[in-house]
């Protein structure tokens, strides 16, 4: 009897200790999210002020607050019209787009790595980027999609991304099911085909200026950011993040393998289809407004897992915030590195992401 009471007491102690540990982890994660929100806000304010015409961080904050109806009456206008135009019209849309693009690429990276169960996976491996570049260059150089008006570039890039995704998806089906190995190989093949199509289009460019603009866009840039371009990517990232967070337990189980997930009652094929659609949507919409920015979807999820572990409930929001911060400051470096000229963001992310990827390969080989 005493032994039974001892075991019950020991069980209660272990349960209490586990509860304390869980509470501690919860508070640590909450503190990290709050810290990242503060860093994100600080990054937005500081990055807006950096440029050929510097604007003080306090002035940037006041201009942003002055646009809010609730607090507008309490903000004293002590800035110039030029500063307001620089902050509100030129730089804030660009920085906001950078946050959205970074969050989208990071979330797509998390979803893709869960899909293929490999932390070295990148959201561009399905050929989405190559397809978007092909149709976008076709529109920029030959005006094929000019009938779409001011959104011709965005829509044309999204059309290319959708075509590539559809090709990869249908060719990766083996006996009615998606084969991961077939998916990856098909993605590589489609990407090479679309790259070849892009080169044919650029070699046939009617003028040098159009070719330069197309090459700059394909390398990734936020230079053309406008308020009108933010709505669609923002809606997409919000919807996709809600879906991914709702499925975070399923994503955790997928890491154990398809058989383990199937025995737990998860429809693996349906989840795979959902993840492919979400990755393609996030990457396609992102490329349509910013061009191709590589390695963000590879680096950020990996760094996030080092910070918070592999639970997707934590990985997804932290990755989104870190991705936004990374792209914002990379854009600042792109603007200032050879000012008054501007470097494409994709070049800088490749310079950092390439060595990072090699390090990951060597680390995995050793382990």
- Cα first-last separation, the chain: 49
CA-wise closest residue to 254 among 238, 239, 277, 270: 270
pLDDT tens digits for range 317-330: 999 999 999 999 99
For residue 61, the number of C-alpha atoms closer than 13 Å in the C-beta half-sphere is 7
> Which CATH architecture group holds 41-60+95-366?
Orthogonal Bundle (1.10)
Q: pLDDT grade, residue 290 (50/70/90)? A: confident
pLDDT tens digits for range 223-273: 878 888 898 899 999 999 999 999 999 999 888 877 778 887 888 888 888
> Which residues lie across from 178 on neighbouring strands?
173
Output the six-digit token pair for 309. 């572990």
Output the six-digit token pair for 358. 């090699």
Q: How far is CA 129 from CA 233, 280, 316, in A?
A: 16, 9, 22
Output the six-digit token pair for 56. 């003080």
Q: pLDDT grade, residue 27 (50/70/90)? A: low
CA-wise closest residue to 183 among 117, 110, 132, 108: 117
Name residues whose C-beta falls within 8 Å of residue 209's C-beta, 6 or more positions apart in sequence.
none
Per-residue model confidence (pLDDT) at position 14? 46
Per-residue model confidence (pLDDT) at position 365? 64
The DSSP H or E segment spanning 177 is strand 177-178
What letter does residue 175 receive in the DSSP assignment?
T
Lowest-confidence pick of 9-23, 75-89, 311-325 = 9-23
Q: pLDDT grade, residue 17 (50/70/90)? A: low
Output the six-digit token pair for 33. 């999210």
Q: Are 292 and 164 in contact (CB under 8 A)?
A: no
Per-residue model confidence (pLDDT) at position 121? 76
> Which residues lie across from 174 on neighbouring strands?
177
Output the six-digit token pair for 238. 């919000």
Q: Dihedral angle at the C-alpha atoms of 125, 129, 131, 132, nearest 10 degrees?
A: 160
pLDDT at residue 13 greater than cutoff 70? no
Higher pLDDT, 41 or 122: 41
Cα gap 85→91, rounded to integer Å: 9
- What are the structural domain ranges in the chain? 41-60+95-366
Name residues whose C-beta falls within 8 Å of residue 185's C-beta, 6 or more positions apart in sequence.
none
pLDDT tens digits for range 97-109: 999 999 999 999 9
For the chain, state the CA radius of gyration.
23
CA-wise closest residue to 220 among 145, 160, 286: 286
The torsion region of residue 143 among left (phi > 0), alpha (psi -120 to 50) and beta comes to: left
């Amino acid at each position: 009897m005493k032994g039974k009471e001892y075991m019950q007491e020991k069980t209660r102690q272990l349960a209490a200790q586990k509860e304390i540990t869980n509470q501690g982890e919860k508070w640590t994660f909450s503190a990290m999210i709050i810290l990242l929100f503060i860093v994100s806000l600080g990054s937005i304010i500081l990055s807006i002020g950096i440029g050929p015409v510097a604007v003080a961080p306090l002035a940037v904050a006041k201009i942003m607050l002055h646009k809010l109806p609730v607090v507008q009456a309490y903000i004293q206008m002590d800035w110039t019209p030029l500063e307001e135009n620089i902050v509100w019209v030129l730089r804030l849309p660009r920085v906001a787009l950078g946050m959205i693009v970074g969050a989208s690429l990071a979330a797509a990276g998390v979803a893709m790595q869960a899909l293929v169960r490999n932390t070295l996976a990148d959201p561009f491996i399905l050929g989405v980027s190559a397809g978007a570049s092909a149709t976008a260059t076709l529109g920029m150089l030959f005006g094929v999609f000019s009938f779409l008006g001011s959104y011709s570039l965005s829509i044309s890039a999204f059309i290319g991304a959708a075509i590539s995704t559809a090709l990869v998806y249908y060719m990766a089906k083996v006996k009615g099911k998606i084969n991961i190995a077939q998916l990856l190989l098909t993605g590589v093949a489609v990407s090479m085909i679309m790259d070849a199509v892009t080169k044919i289009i650029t070699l046939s460019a009617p003028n040098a200026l159009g070719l330069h603009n197309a090459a700059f866009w394909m390398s990734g840039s936020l230079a053309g950011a406008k308020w009108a371009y933010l709505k669609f990517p923002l809606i997409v990232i919000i919807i996709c993040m809600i879906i991914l967070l709702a499925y975070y337990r399923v994503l955790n189980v997928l890491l154990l393998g398809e058989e383990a997930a199937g025995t737990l009652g998860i429809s693996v094929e349906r989840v795979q289809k959902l993840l492919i659609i979400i990755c393609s949507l996030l990457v396609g919409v992102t490329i349509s407004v910013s061009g191709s920015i590589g390695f963000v979807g590879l680096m950020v999820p990996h760094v996030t897992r080092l910070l918070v572990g592999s639970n997707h409930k934590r990985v997804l929001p932290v990755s989104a915030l870190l991705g936004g911060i990374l792209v914002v400051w990379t854009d600042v470096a792109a603007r200032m590195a050879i000012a008054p000229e501007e470097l494409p963001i994709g070049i800088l992310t490749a310079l950092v992401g390439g060595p990072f990827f090699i390090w990951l390969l060597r680390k995995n080989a050793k382990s």
